[in-house]
Amino acid sequence: MKRKDTIPVVFFNASVILSGIRSSSGASAKLLRFAKQKRITGLISEIILDETLRHADKIGFSSSAISTVVTRIFVPIYPPPNNIAVRTYTAQVIDSGDAHVLASSRELDADYLVTLDKRHLLVLQDTIKWIKIVSPKELIEQLG
C-alpha cells in the first residue's frame, strides 16, 4: 500500500545523478536540488553510489568529488536490495544488471524511479505498473 505522504519518494538511477552533476542547468540537476531541499525524498542504494563513482571520470570529476556531492544529497544511502528480490526482477528487465534498480525501488517503496536509461529502464514504463518509471523531465512535469 502506498503512503499518503505529500512529498514524493524518488529512487534515482546513477545516470540521473551523473547528468545532474555534469550540467547544473538540466532537469537532472533540478531533481538533485529538489532532493537536497527535501522537496522530494531522494533515495539511492550503495550499488547506485558505486556505479556513480565508477563513472565519475566520464563526466570529468574525481570519485571523491562525486562522493562528497552525493553523500550530501542522499542521506541515508541504503544497503543493496535482497538477493531474492533482485532475482525476482531479473526476468522483468532487459539487462539483468538493472534488476537491482527495480528491487531497491520496491524495497524502499518509492513512488518514482527516475532514469535516463532509455534502452533498459524507460522502455518498461508501460510494463511495470507498481512504480512510475520516468525521465527527469517527465518527473518535473508530473510534480508541477
Q: What are the tens digits of pLDDT across the range 31-60?
A: 999 999 999 999 999 999 999 999 999 999
pLDDT category of residue 22 using cuts at 50, 70 and 90: very high
Residue 51, beta-bridge partner list: none
C-alpha grid cell for residue 128?
Answer: 511495470
* pLDDT for position 5: 53
For residues 94 and 119, is the Cβ–Cβ distance under 8 A?
Answer: yes
- Rounded Cα distance between 121 and 76, Å, is 24
* pLDDT for position 6: 83
For residues 103 and 71, is the Cβ–Cβ distance under 8 A?
Answer: no
- Rounded Cα distance between 39 and 42, Å, is 9
- Per domain, the residue ranges of the chain are 9-143
* pLDDT for position 1: 40
For residues 113 and 133, is the Cβ–Cβ distance under 8 A?
Answer: yes
* pLDDT for position 144: 84
pLDDT category of residue 80 using cuts at 50, 70 and 90: very high
* pLDDT for position 78: 98
CATH fold label, 9-143:
Rossmann fold (3.40.50)
pLDDT category of residue 75 using cuts at 50, 70 and 90: very high
- Rounded Cα distance between 75 and 137, Å, is 23
Q: How high does pLDDT run on average in the chain? A: 94
pLDDT in tens, 82-98: 999 999 999 889 888 99
Does this model's pTM top 0.85?
Answer: yes
C-alpha grid cell for residue 51?
Answer: 556505479
Reduced 3-state DSSP string for the chain: CCCCCCCCEEEECHHHHHHHHHCCCCHHHHHHHHHHCCCCEEECEHHHHHHHHHCHHHHCCCHHHHHHHHHHHCCCCECCCCHHHHHHHHCCCCCHHHHHHHHHHHHCCCCEEECCCCCCCHHHCCCCCCCEEECHHHHHHHHC
